[in-house]
A and B are shown apart, each in its own frame.
Chain A
Amino acid sequence: MSILILGGATDPESLRVVEELEAEGAYYIHLDTANFPESVHLSFLNRSIYLGREKLDVPHVVYLRGLACHPLRPGLAEELSSRPQGVLAECAEKRAMLESVVMCFQRRGARIVNSLQANAQHSQKPYQLALLKAKKLPVPKSLAANDPKAVRQFVHEVGKAVYKPLAGGAGVQLLQKWDLSDERLATLAAAPVLFQEYIEGVPVRAYVVGQHAVAAAELHSPEVDHRRQEDSVEATRLSTDERAAVLAAARVCRMHFAGVDLVRYPGGFKIIECNPSPMFAVFEQKTGQNVARPLAAYLIECHERKKERSSKSKHSSHKDGHKGRS
């Protein structure tokens, strides 16, 4: 097996990559993580992994689009409410299996796009910001805290601020005066929050594949968080500095494929975050830029390089697999 896609069978991003792989005649397997374990059967026996009755060869490269293990994902709310322990246990067991598959393939030489560790950065925003800052990349001043005093001090220093979850799952909000009341800040005892200086400017999403920035667009919105309301999406050209920064960001975050979010303002830009499993299907539709094609090309290139290395070292002929399976 050359290329393994881990993602839902109807996931738009997985399907776009499948489309591009098929256009190139590439051999791949699309493992439907959304329907595991309901209708997709996986077995892990000693070191071997079986999809149904078929043993899976170690892929050369894996596109890890999604494991569908999160208990808070859309569609589970009702079940989570009626049987919370059961749902949490299901998700944990599913995660244990799929992550073990990924880890085994990684250990046996597969390139994972992107690794579990890289994907974990979605829920580790302070860590990711520290990585970016350590490489001297421009990021907003940030405070992750549950300490009301620290929050008041930070807001006093930065002036206008926004807040967002450390682990994602909710939008960015502008911090209001009343958010600094004793009553509001007392809720930090339930969970810490990420506070950041507000950067007034135009949000940009750039996609990085390997060593290349392959697409970028401005996302125009009247809202602080452009995902709440979108006026327009316009393809844009990254400046030399922006390009260098997004490539450096993906590199330091150890992402072979990344959706890098920045905010442009007069005279500069700041990197907001690197997404390890970015959406791009509708982005492509709205901008006319192709993200799936360079991603598929990257997956194929990884496969070809490993195949060549493997046949050089083993002096054996390549086993032909039939094209395209899901």
Chain B
Amino acid sequence: MKRTKEVTKKRLFIEELERPALACGQVTTLALGEESLGGGDGKVTTMMVGEEAYKAQ
């Protein structure tokens, strides 16, 4: 009998990283990750998840 190998889907400890960065976050002064994310796409949010992390790269 053929056994089917179970494939375990990889997940990150930080589940938020599994989701796409928000295009427009809540208007807080600094956004999660805002200083490294983004790149001047015109979305005027104060700060958003990932923005400070993605912008300079």
Which A residues have a C-beta under 8 Å from some C-beta of B? Answer: 7-12, 14, 32-34, 64-70, 72-75, 77, 80, 95, 114, 119, 122-123, 163-165, 167-171, 173, 179, 184-185, 187-188, 190-191, 193, 205, 217, 219, 221, 225-230, 233, 259, 275-279, 281-283, 286
Contacts and interface: CB of A to CB of B under 8 A. Distances in A.
B40 A190 contact: no
B42 A122 contact: no
B14 interface: yes
B56 A67 contact: yes
A279 B13 contact: no
Contacts of B45: 282
Interface residues of B, number: 45
Contact of A169 (B11, B30, B36, B39): B36
Given A66-B55, A190-B11, A170 B17 contact: yes
Give the secondary structure class of B's interface. Answer: loop
B6 interface: no
B23 A66 contact: no
B14 A193 contact: yes
Contacts of B52: 122, 168, 259, 275, 277-279
6 contacts: A69-B39, A165-B14, A168-B37, A170-B17, A190-B10, A227-B28
Interface in B1-57: 10-14, 16-17, 20-57
B50 A169 contact: yes
Among B42, B44, B53, which residue has the most Cβ atoms of chain A within 10 A?
A: B53
A66 B31 contact: no
A154 B54 CA distance: 29
A230 B46 CA distance: 11
A283 B40 contact: no
A114 B24 CA distance: 26
A227 B45 CA distance: 11
Contacts of A69: 39, 57
